[in-house]
Amino acid sequence: MCIYNILINCNLRKRPQKLYILKKLYTFAAVFLFKLKLKMIKKNLTKLSALAKKGLAVVAACAISLPAFAEGYQINSQSARQAGMGHTGVALKLGAESMLFNPAGMAFMDSKFDISLGLTGIQSKVKYQNGNSELETDNPLSTPIFGYVGYKPCKNLAFGVSLTNPAGNSLVWPNSWAGSSIIQEVSLKAFSVQPTVSYKIGDIVSIGAGLMIDFGSFSQNKALVQKGAFDQLGAMAGSMSQMIPAMGAMASAIASLPASDLANIELSGNAKVAFGVNVGVMVNVSPKVTLGASYRSKVKMSVEGGEADIEYANDVAESVMKTFAKLDLATLAGALPPAVASQLDLTAIMAKQAQIKFMDALDDAEFEASLPIPSIFNVGIGYKPIDGLTLTGEFQYTGWKAYEKLLVQFDESTGNYAIESIKDYDNSFAVRIGGEYVISDFATVRLGGYVDTTPVQKDNYNPETPGATTFCGTVGASLSPVKFMAIDLTLAYLAGQKTFGTYKEGTATFSGEYQKSAFMPALGLRFKF
C-alpha cells in the first residue's frame, strides 16, 4: 500500500487537519512539477552537447581497449600453447611459461632467453530458465593476457618474470531481469606479476619458486528499486486527481517511468597489492617419464576506499523517489480513520520511504571488501612414448573453501552499513589430459581436454558467479616460420552441466536452471635465442 492510498481514503471534510493536509499535498505536487519541468528543460538544452560527448566516448573506446575477463572466477587461459593441451603443464618443460605451471621446469630452458606473449578471446554466456522465462547473459568479449620472459645465465640456473591474469569475472545479465536485486553485472580484474628463480640439481631434479604480486579491480551493480515499485502509487495518485488536480500530474509522471529498474547501486574500487608464492619441483624419472608438482598459495585481494554510486533510470524516476522521500508520512497517517488504517500496512510504507531516504547516504559513500584467489595444488606426469610425441595428465585441487562470503562494509557516514553475500564454497578438483605431436621443425599439433568440478553449492547458488561442473575440449597448433620464433594457435570450447540452484535473499528465495558455455580462441608468440 502507498501513501496516496492513505490520503484517498481519508475523510478530509470531517478532519480539523483538512486545510493543513491539502496545503501539504499542493506544496509537494507543486515542488515536484517545478523540479520535473526544470530538469526536462535542462535536458533539452544539453542534448547536442550530450550527443557530442557520446561521439567522443565512442572514438575513445575504439582507440583504447582495456581487457575484460572471462566468466568464472578462475581463469585457465594463460598460455596459447598449453591451452591446446587442456591447459596442462605441471610435468612439462615449457621454458619461460613454466613460471606459471611449475617454476621448477624453467631450469630446463634450452636457450639463454625465452619469451612468450599472447592473449585469449573468451566469449562466454550463461542461460537462465525459470518456468516459461528464458534469458541469457550479454557478456562482453574478454581478452585475458599473458607474458613470460626467462633468462638462463648458466647451465643449472634460470630467472624470469611473468604477467598473467589468475582470476576474473565479467558477467552482464539482461537489464532489469528478475534477479537484478541480487546482481545486474559484475567485473573482477586480477593481475599477477611473478619474479621467479629456478635451479636444476644435476639432470634429474629441479626446484623453483616465484613471488606472486597481485593487484586488480572490482565492480558490481545491482538494483535497489526494481521496476514496478511505483505502479500502485501511480494508480492512487490518478484516483486523487478529481479531489486534487495536481495529483494528475504526479500520476502522469509515474506512468512515464521506464519499464526497467528505477535505481541501481554501482560499487567499484581497486584492490591493493597482495602477495603469495608459487613453488614447484620436477623429477626426471627416466628419459621418457617426468613427474611434477606445484603449489600456488591463497592470495587475499582487498579493496579499500571503494566508492558507491546511485544510478537512477532517468530524471523522472529520481524526481518521483525524492518527492516521495520528503512526504511527512507520520502526519498524514495520523489523519486516517481507524477503519481505513487497519487495512493498510503502514510499516511497509514507511520502510520503503526509509530505504529511499537511505539511498542518499549510500551515494558517494566509501566501502571496503575482500575476496580470496584460492590456493591451487597440481601434480602430474609427462610421458614421451616415441620421438616427437608427448602425453601428459594431471590432477588439480583448488582451495575454494576459503571463499566463505563477500562482505561490503561501508564507512561511518552510512552508520557502518554492510552488504553481505554468503558463498560457503567447497574445495574442487579438475582432471586434465593433453597430447602434442611434432610433425616437423615447422609444425606441431596438440589436443586436450579437462573436467572441472564446481565449488558452488546448489542451495546457495548466487547468479553473480554461476557454477557447474564443466567439460572443455581443446585443439591447437604451432607454426615456426624461422628457428627462433613460433606462432601458437588454439581453439577451446567449454560447456557446463545444467544446474538448478536456489539463493536466499532476505526472506525471499530466487531459483532457476542455469547453463554456461564459452568459446575461447587464443594466439601466442614465442621467441628463443
Residue 331 lies in a domain: no
Average pLDDT over residues 481-495: 96
Residue type, 202: G
Cα–Cα distance, 124 to 340 (Å, whole number): 53
Say if residues 230 and 320 touch (Cβ distance below 8 Å): yes
Cα–Cα distance, 163 to 78 (Å, whole number): 9
Around Cβ 483, how many Cβ atoms within 10 Å? 9
pLDDT tens for each residue of 144-201? 999 999 999 999 999 999 999 998 888 999 999 999 999 999 998 899 999 999 999 9
Number of H helices and E strands in the chain, helices first, is 11, 22
Cα–Cα distance, 454 to 200 (Å, whole number): 36
Binning pLDDT at 50, 70 and 90, where does residue 228 land?
Answer: confident
- Number of domains, the chain: 1
Q: What CATH number did the domain enclosing 169 receive?
A: 2.40.160.60
Average pLDDT over residues 220-227: 92
Name the nearest CA neighbour of 254 among 324, 334, 200. 324
Enter the C-alpha cell of residue 200.
636444476
Residue 264 pLDDT greater than 70, yes or no: yes
Q: What is the Rg, in whole angstroms, of the alpha carbon atoms belonging to the chain?
A: 29
Residue 10 pLDDT greater than 90, yes or no: no
What confidence score (pLDDT) does residue 231 get? 77
What confidence score (pLDDT) does residue 9 get? 40
Enclosing domain of residue 221 = 65-226+261-298+374-528
Around Cβ 329, how many Cβ atoms within 10 Å? 16
Higher-confidence residue of 327 and 273: namely 273
Q: Return the sign of the alpha-carbon dihedral for residues 86, 90, 91, 97.
A: positive
Q: In this structure, what DSSP letter does residue 78 have?
A: S
pLDDT tens for each residue of 22-51? 444 444 444 444 444 444 434 443 432 333
Say if residues 437 and 445 touch (Cβ distance below 8 Å): yes
Residue 303 lies in a domain: no
Residue 496 lies in a domain: yes
Say if residues 72 and 517 touch (Cβ distance below 8 Å): no
What confidence score (pLDDT) does residue 252 get? 84
What confidence score (pLDDT) does residue 239 get? 61
Pairing relation of β-strands 389-398 and 113-120? unpaired
Residue 316 lies in a domain: no
Residue 47 lies in a domain: no
In the chain, the percentage of residues whose pLDDT exceeds 90 is: 64
Average pLDDT over residues 337-350: 67
Residue 13 lies in a domain: no
pLDDT tens for each residue of 352-405? 788 888 998 899 999 999 989 999 999 999 999 999 999 999 999 999 999 999
Point out which residues pair with 291 in neighbouring strands: 283, 381
3-state SS of 373-431?
ECCEEEEEEEECCCCCEEEEEEEEEECHHHCCEEEEEECHHHCCCEEEEECCCCCEEEE
Cα–Cα distance, 203 to 201 (Å, whole number): 6
Residue 413 lies in a domain: yes
Residue 369 lies in a domain: no
Residue 137 has phi, psi (to 5 degrees) of -70, 160
Cα–Cα distance, 503 to 509 (Å, whole number): 6
Point out which residues pair with 394 in neighbouring strands: 380, 432
Q: Which of helix, strand or coil describes residue 502?
A: strand
> Residues with Cβ < 8 Å from 123, sequence gap 6 or more?
139, 141, 142, 518, 519, 520
Residue 302 pLDDT greater than 70, yes or no: yes
Average pLDDT over residues 433-450: 98
What confidence score (pLDDT) does residue 12 get? 38
Model confidence, pTM? 0.83
Q: Which residue has the cell 506512468?
A: 255
* 266 alpha-carbon distance from chain centroid: 12
